[in-house]
Amino acid sequence: MPVWEEADMSALMKFLTSSIGRKMSMALTGLLMILFLVAHLLGNLLVFAGAEQFNHYSHALVSNPLIYLAELGLVVLFVAHIASGISVFLRGRAARPEGYKQAQWAGATSHKSLSSATMIFSGAFIAVFVPLHLWKFKFGAFYPGPEGMRDIYRLVIEEFQNPFIVVFYVIGMVIIGFHLWHAFGSAFESLGMSYRRALRRFGHAVALVIAGGFLLIPIAIFMMGDKL
């Protein structure tokens, strides 16, 4: 490798492992996962269109040969985001090892909130919740449907008839919304944009829409059951 390429790689690695680089990595991976959540939500809402529409959507996803590449990409994003988040948290703790005796907010000028102060904890829950959620429906009971498709619609309806599963999902989606409440605007700030009120409010709206949309599915199915 030429000397100039080695120097460029060294500079890149130095930047990526710096405090700013790790924050930018966390921001970019977080925003990409938010885009995935939006797409995932739009697809999941097809459950209200009925078994045929939902099963065709699910079959189109799993039968696409690019699905494995997409899943690998999501795993990389997820792991990279978690690793960056832990690194940023630990560096922040190392910079103030004694911590603050009392959390203080600077009124209207402060970006500090309960959501921002608990990001590491909500993130830790999400790191467990998301794999459990995906495993449950990707590798759950296989019900054969028409045209050789898997009847994932039946599995979703059956799962959300269980009150314990519904409560678990409600808690999970509330915590995800809580995480997104701060994450969206903070990500743009880490990328160099000023944390303006409009951006903050838009981020709050995004969090409410995503969490609310996902919350609607288990609650509506539990309340309506086979009437869907």
Whether 1 is covered by a domain: the verdict is no
Residue with tokens 């409440």: 181
Whether 13 is covered by a domain: the verdict is no
Domain range enclosing 34? 20-94+113-227
Whether 5 is covered by a domain: the verdict is no
Exposure string for 24-51, b = 16+ CB within 10 A, e = fewer: bbbbbbbbbbbeebeeebeebebbeeeb
Whether 124 is covered by a domain: the verdict is yes
Written as one letter, the residue type at 123 is G
Counted domains in the chain = 1
| In the predicted structure, residue 64 carries a pLDDT above the cut 80 | yes
pLDDT of residue 32: 92
Q: Per mean pLDDT, which range of 58-72, 106-120, 146-160, 161-175 is the poorest?
A: 106-120
Summarised one tens digit per residue, pLDDT across range 76-86 is 999 989 988 88
Whether 107 is covered by a domain: the verdict is no
Gyration radius of the chain over CA positions? 21
Residue with tokens 């930047």: 15
Whether 75 is covered by a domain: the verdict is yes
Summarised one tens digit per residue, pLDDT across range 190-211 is 777 766 677 888 889 999 999 9
Whether 105 is covered by a domain: the verdict is no
Q: From 2, 141, 149, select the one nearest 61 (Cα to Cα).
A: 149
**Which residues, at least 6 apart from 170, have a Cβ–Cβ distance to it below 8 Å?**
215, 218, 219
Is residue 179 a contact partner of residue 185, using CB atoms and an 8 Å limit? no
Whether 136 is covered by a domain: the verdict is yes
| In the predicted structure, residue 10 carries a pLDDT above the cut 90 | no
